[in-house]
Structure 1
Amino acid sequence: MPGMTYTKALVGFAAFAVQVNAFWKMPCSSPVVVERADPIIDPGAISGHVHTILGSNAFNFTMDYASTQTATCSTCKAFEDLSSYWVPTLYYHAENGSFIPVQQSGGALVYYLQRTDPKDPKLEEGLLAFPKDFRMIAGDMTRRNTSEADAPNGEAAASFVCLGLDGPKTPELPKQNCPGGLRAQINFPSCWNGVDKDSPDHKSHVAYPSRLDTGYCPDSHPHRFITLFYEVIWSVDPFKDMWYGDGQPFVFSYGDPTGTGYHGDFVNGWDVDVLQTAINTCNSASGVVEECGAFTFRKDDDMKACKALSRVDEPITGVLAALPGCNPVQTGPETAQFDSSCTNVVKEIGDPIMPYTDMTKQGWKYVACAKDPQGQSRTLDGATSADTKDMTVDKCIKLCGDAGFTYAGLEYYTQCFCGDTLDASRMPTNGTMGDCSYPCSGDPTQLCGGGAQVAVYTKCAGGDCTNADVPDLF
């Protein structure tokens, strides 16, 4: 081993012995944004299908390492991680042909697996942190069969687990309801050519080891990264009484009802030195990220409150006539084909879409998505109204205005609260903006707060909002 002393070699092998089963799980509490964006495959343009994106609020249609470092928050736990992680969104495909998005359950877990093999060509150098400007993808959205797996030995990089039932993971979407949720999983390649941060196909600069995560790297890609593995759970049980026919009724946003085209993307935003320290020193086999002393951690509320503003002005929730983008459902087994020439599809990146309903013409301005913790005093503690049928922002501000209150707030689709004071401790932490994106029960085009989060408005002086300050949401 040129340039490698015997002592250093022993250190490398000792690290391998300690870390062979070590890993940590990075919790990412919720999406930072859901939209048709993919800065790896479609830089500077709208993506062909909807992605659920987790990680930092620096996510954008074009990204490099410098841009990741401008983030003010992340939905993931470690402060030192400003990376972006994304996967396609899951939809329920109704018998009448319409589509309804399936809700995520608890965001995602990103596993960092410290896997090496005694046959690794560069075993002595140990595991490496991802370098600046590194990015990669796993999986292939055009695949519609199980015979073309990315990884060696017939192992599929993507797999699924039906929670709440006993059974093995499967390479395709399961054919029965999953009462505990549908867990979608994907392994990323961990072997690197040591030169390229990316490649034209976003795959060739990396490779899978001889087995999916525990084998050895090929000589063409001799360097070994820590292994990435994503878990995302989709709440499919609410659709349990809506199955029909002989198949299963779910489809990913790129038109895949099989799951064999499931894929994931990663853009590195780590403090590289901190990640390398964690790889070298965090040897726990428990997977608990808090046991790694290399990291500092965000509060759960701050993770959930971290959001990026969408810039694709199209419906992606509710009952949809078609999947957003040009994505016909294709069952295979032939490779899927995509045609971006379809009409009535948004193709231009627009201005950021504000996460509230504009009431300035009615004499009220938006203040913030404030915290309203359960089991504590209300953030707005004046008059209240809960109308499960027809709550709107207009109705709430009228109720509070007629009663002479300074503030009006909406929460959980149906609830309206009024008050004269707004405690600063309930405001979003600097750098976050909360999630008050629940549609109003009386008008789904308006937004009526969130879960334990209240969308607060205040009366403009004299009812004139012409010069009202725009909330600082960035």
Structure 2
Amino acid sequence: MRWLSSFLAAVALAPAGVISTTLRFSCAQLAVDRLDPIVNPGQNPTPHLHQIVGGNAFNVTMDHEAHDQATTATCTSCQPMEDFSNYWTAVLFYKARNGTYKRVSTVGNGLGYTASNGGQTVYYLSNGKVIAFIPGFRMTVGNPSYKTQAEARKNPALQFTCLDSPMTRSGYRYDFPTTPCKGGIMVTVRFPTCWNGKHTDSPDHQSHVAYPVSRKCPSTHPVAIPEVFYETYWDTRPFNNKADWPADGSQPFVWSFGDNTGYGNHGDYVFGWKGDALQRAMNAKCNSDLINDKVNCPTLKLQSIADTNRCTVKRRVKEDLDSWLKALPGSDMRGDMR
């Protein structure tokens, strides 16, 4: 457990008292591809489509023992230049009345990141001392098989917001909005903040982490880790004419794995920060400006949003994702879930 002693020592160097950190930054779109190195390692293509941001070492296989993005990536689509992690979610589609599908694009967060080429906003949060992740760490949250609100509420921090403007932060719900959203749909994903301190992964990619109970980490998962939080803006504005929505009055959006409820919302994370960069940022109480793109974190090396837009990887699965499609990508592999 030499690594644990090192990280405990790093945390001990933090200023006395409670550490409150809100590290917020933009990550441009790295790729949209049918790959999932956590759930379907080595499989090309995988059953459903993802949108991915972060380091360009993202690959079909990212073995958690051997693959270290911090040493293999050459660029990152995120503002912190030392963050080669990968962050990904499912992809949103619009289903027309004639049964064809159109992929919905992501756009930069309206609170300061409109210059970003899609992607998502990433947060690292803490309200106290935390130990940063270690190389090989990965986790998922949510479950694409969930079909009811009761199931979705098992992960209370995976939600949708119907944006009236970029400032909208109310009206959270667990399913897709049922009315047109003036500013698009924001999808939020919050990961657990407690770790068992032993394993960088688990068979279900979730059991090695847990949510706190009464604001404290349970004895089974005693190590407090940063809260990883995604905000993804989906540009549903081109599809806001309700006359084009289903004749039965239902909403027209569907996740790339066939879910038209939204309850299957989920996210994936693979840690890839270089050296002790993330621990330094958490110790320094970095707090980003919530109104513009300034990241108030002198300990980190930052790049411009224009630079993040330049970091991309070529799509490995050769398929049409831009036309009106008769079926969702991968539907022949998984069958129709809905």
Q: Which TM-score tier does this pair reach, normalised by the shorter chain? A: 0.7 to 0.9
Matched AA of 1:66: D
3-state SS in 2 of match to 1:109: strand
- Identity fraction in percent: 38
3-state SS in 1 of match to 2:149: coil
Structure 2 gap segments, 5+ residues each: 109-118
- Among 128, 133, 136, which residue is 1:133 paired with? 136
Alignment of 1:152-231 (within 5 A): 156-164=156-164, 167-210=170-213, 215-231=215-231
TM-superposed CA distance for 1:96, in Å, is 1.2
TM-superposed CA distance for 1:290, in Å, is 2.2
3-state SS in 1 of match to 2:219: coil
Is the 1:282–1:293 contact (alpha carbons within 8 Å) kept by the matching residues of 2? no
Work out the CA distance in 2 between the residues paired with 1:261 and 1:110: 20
1:57 matched residue in structure 2: 56
Work out the CA distance in 2 between the residues paired with 1:137 and 1:24: 20
Work out the CA distance in 2 between the residues paired with 1:16 and 1:112: 19
Work out the CA distance in 2 between the residues paired with 1:286 and 1:216: 28
Matched AA of 1:224: A
Matched AA of 2:32: V
2:41 matched residue in structure 1: 43
Kindly provide the CA deviation profile for residues 205-262 of structure 1, in whole angstroms up to 9, marking residues without a partner as x.
1111126xxx221110000100001000001111112212221000000111111111
Matched AA of 2:48: H
Is the 1:26–1:77 contact (alpha carbons within 8 Å) kept by the matching residues of 2? yes
3-state SS in 1 of match to 2:151: coil
Work out the CA distance in 2 between the residues paired with 1:35 and 1:17: 41
3-state SS in 1 of match to 2:276: helix
1:323 matched residue in structure 2: 328
TM-superposed CA distance for 1:286, in Å, is 4.3
TM-superposed CA distance for 1:300, in Å, is 1.9
Normalised by the length of structure 1, the TM-score is 0.61
Distance 1:66 1:18, change over 3 A: closer
Is the 1:54–1:85 contact (alpha carbons within 8 Å) kept by the matching residues of 2? yes
Structure 1 gap segments, 5+ residues each: 117-125, 332-474
2:18 matched residue in structure 1: 17
2:91 matched residue in structure 1: 89
- Among 96, 99, 110, which residue is 2:122 paired with? 110
Is the 1:57–1:74 contact (alpha carbons within 8 Å) kept by the matching residues of 2? yes
Work out the CA distance in 2 between the residues paired with 1:282 and 1:41: 33
Is the 2:24–2:123 contact (alpha carbons within 8 Å) kept by the matching residues of 1? yes
1:307 matched residue in structure 2: 312
Alignment of 1:383-422 (within 5 A): none
TM-superposed CA distance for 1:284, in Å, is 3.2
Kindly provide the CA deviation profile for residues 429-457 of structure 1, in whole angstroms up to 9, marking residues without a partner as x.
xxxxxxxxxxxxxxxxxxxxxxxxxxxxx
Is the 1:136–1:266 contact (alpha carbons within 8 Å) kept by the matching residues of 2? yes
Distance 1:199 1:170, change over 3 A: same
Kindly provide the CA deviation profile for residues 72-128 of structure 1, in whole angstroms up to 9, marking residues without a partner as x.
211110011001100000000111111100111112101111134xxxxxxxxx301
The reply on whether 1:281 has 2:281 as its aligned counterpart is no
2:239 matched residue in structure 1: 239
Work out the CA distance in 2 between the residues paired with 1:39 and 1:25: 25
3-state SS in 1 of match to 2:87: strand
RMSD: 2.3
Is the 2:15–2:283 contact (alpha carbons within 8 Å) kept by the matching residues of 1? no
3-state SS in 2 of match to 1:257: coil
Is the 1:162–1:180 contact (alpha carbons within 8 Å) kept by the matching residues of 2? yes
Normalised by the length of structure 2, the TM-score is 0.84
Q: What is the total number of aligned residue pairs between the two structures?
A: 306
Higher relative contact order (CA 8 A, sep 6+): 2
Is the 1:35–1:316 contact (alpha carbons within 8 Å) kept by the matching residues of 2? no
TM-superposed CA distance for 1:58, in Å, is 1.0
Work out the CA distance in 2 between the residues paired with 1:136 and 1:61: 17
Is the 2:193–2:226 contact (alpha carbons within 8 Å) kept by the matching residues of 1? yes
2:146 matched residue in structure 1: 143
TM-superposed CA distance for 1:43, in Å, is 0.5
Is the 2:19–2:285 contact (alpha carbons within 8 Å) kept by the matching residues of 1? no
TM-superposed CA distance for 1:277, in Å, is 0.9
Kindly provide the CA deviation profile for residues 12-37 of structure 1, in whole angstroms up to 9, marking residues without a partner as x.
99755242xx31112112x1111100
- Among 265, 275, 278, which residue is 1:262 paired with? 265
Work out the CA distance in 2 between the residues paired with 1:184 and 1:269: 23
TM-superposed CA distance for 1:313, in Å, is 1.5
1:367 matched residue in structure 2: none
3-state SS in 1 of match to 2:182: coil
